[in-house]
Amino acid sequence: MKRWWRRNGRNGVPGCCQPGSWCTSRFGVVGVVLDEWVGPALLPSLDVPTILARQLAERLAPGNRPRRTAAAYPGPTIDAEGEDNPLPNPFALVLDPSRTDGIRIPTFVGKAHGDLHIENILIPSSLRNVDTTYQLIDLSRYAADAVLTRDPVHLVLHILARRLSELSAAQRTAVIDLLLDPEQDGDLVPRWLFLLIDRVRSAAKDWARRAGLVDLWRDQIPLSLLAVALTCLGRTSTRPGTDATRASGPGRG
């Protein structure tokens, strides 16, 4: 078994998005994990602070970088480079629970890896029978009652946080728009990145669709985008200049 991200990349294109790799298949590991781990969907009604706390965990503790980042942007709006007008401040959802008083969202919860990214997914170097031969490692963040939208979003943003600085300003905006709106054509998005976002999204939506709850799944994605963007900001491995906060959904919705 190999850590295929490092083994299979070529010509500047991550190995995960080369033709024939698992992320170009319809279901991939995301769909298999949801099918095999989660079982029947659980859909409790949770308030927004609880949804975010389950995804950010100890990262919200005072003094941690995500908390400090959120504290640096007080107020109801935020100015973002390239935007003509102030945007709703997504960090306010983290620091000011009163903004979402009375709002409860039916939320998919269940068994989840908790840190799903390409270095924690081992597959055969032959790329054969990935759906049945993959292995997940590093289960230190596993939870039986995790917010299920987080792992698929984390898989995408973990890659994006390492590559976003290589994209032009127009491409970055197009990527953010695509993350927030699956109906976007993504013409400016590099093909490998479009395929990654599309295949991961499709695998997760197919699982939710079988439960007849695909619209609810889609509604939960913006909060996971916010939580994972804050997570990426708190990591030293996130490349300098990567404005991960702009990918946080509530500020653009």
Q: What is the pLDDT of residues 194-242, one digit of tens each?
A: 988 998 999 899 999 988 899 999 999 999 999 998 888 776 655 554 4
Quote the mean pLDDT of the chain.
79
pLDDT at 219 (0 to 100): 92
> Dihedral sign, CA of 64, 67, 70, 71?
negative
Residue 74 has pLDDT above 50, yes or no: yes
**Model confidence band, residue 131 (pLDDT cutoffs 50, 70, 90):** low
pLDDT at 7 (0 to 100): 36
pLDDT tens by residue, 161-201: 888 888 998 999 899 999 999 899 889 999 989 988 998 99
pLDDT tens by residue, 84-115: 889 888 888 888 888 889 999 999 999 999 99
- Tell me the C-alpha distance between 235 and 243, whole Å: 13
More confident residue, 36 or 238: 36
- Tell me the C-alpha distance between 28 and 156, whole Å: 13
- Tell me the C-alpha distance between 128 and 204, whole Å: 22
User: 3-class SS at 2?
Assistant: strand
What residue spans define the domains of the chain?
4-251
pLDDT at 251 (0 to 100): 46
* In contact, 59 and 231? CB cutoff 8 Å: yes
**pTM across the whole model:** 0.82
- Partners of 143 in the beta sheet? 112
